[in-house]
């Protein structure tokens, strides 16, 4: 009789642990679901290379949402729809741009600044707030990355004679530049908005 009691006790304990783990997962999910989010439309007048569904939306470097849709409005205009937290201090004068995370080319929407006294973000005809990205800021980011990659190339060229395989940084920079050039050629603007 003693051995049977142990099996029942072990079985009951196992079921209790499984039920507790299941309850914890449901409770943890409900915490994240309580953050109220609302849509915001971001318009890029030109290429938005690297931006994709599921990408981050950062306000002063802090993640406040994610991109849920990226589409072309016309050949020179990209429209991203994002869900952002309601308590994010986004105003009409908030600066919009792209920030690239590492050498992988994955982009995140970057929101910066804005005065507390500034008016709220203007609404589109369907009631969704709309911000337009500054094309000059996008070109500055692209140009800065191109200059950084160009600054890496001379030391790498000197090291080619001593190694048989190209360094990983050189490969990633060249892959990134190829992707930028191909996306720029599809959009009809030169790479980075600058003439070659």
Burial-class residue 74 by CB neighbours within 10 Å (0-12, 13-18, 19+). exposed
Give the Cβ contact number of residue 103 at 10 Å. 16
Q: In whole angstroms, what is the distance from residue 53 CA to residue 61 CA?
A: 19
What does the pLDDT read at residue 14? Answer: 94
134 φ, ψ (degrees, to nearest 5): -80, 115
What does the pLDDT read at residue 161? Answer: 58
Name the residue ranges covered by the structural domains of the chain.
37-134, 140-193
What does the pLDDT read at residue 194? Answer: 45
What does the pLDDT read at residue 47? Answer: 79
Q: In whole angstroms, what is the distance from residue 186 CA to residue 49 CA?
A: 11
Which portions of the chain are predicted below pLDDT 50? 1, 165, 189-196
What does the pLDDT read at residue 116? Answer: 82
- CATH architecture designation of domain 37-134: Beta Barrel (2.40)
């Amino acid at each position: 009789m003693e051995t049977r009691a142990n099996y029942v006790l072990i079985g009951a304990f196992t079921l209790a642990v499984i039920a507790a783990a299941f309850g914890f997962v449901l409770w943890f999910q409900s915490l994240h679901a309580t953050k109220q989010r609302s849509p915001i439309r971001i318009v890029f007048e030109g290429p938005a290379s690297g931006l994709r569904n599921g990408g981050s939306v950062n306000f002063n470097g802090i993640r406040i949402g994610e991109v849920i849709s990226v589409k072309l409005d016309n050949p020179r205009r990209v429209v991203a729809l994002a869900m952002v937290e309601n308590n994010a201090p986004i105003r009409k004068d908030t600066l919009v741009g792209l920030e690239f995370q590492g050498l992988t080319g994955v982009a995140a929407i970057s929101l910066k600044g804005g005065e507390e006294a500034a008016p709220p973000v203007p609404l589109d005809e369907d009631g969704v707030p709309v911000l337009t990205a500054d094309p000059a800021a996008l070109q500055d980011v692209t140009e800065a990355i191109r200059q950084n990659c160009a600054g890496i190339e001379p030391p790498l060229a000197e090291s080619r004679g001593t190694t048989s395989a190209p360094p990983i940084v050189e490969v990633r920079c060249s892959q990134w530049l190829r992707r930028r050039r191909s996306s720029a050629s599809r959009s009809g603007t030169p790479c980075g908005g600058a003439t070659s």
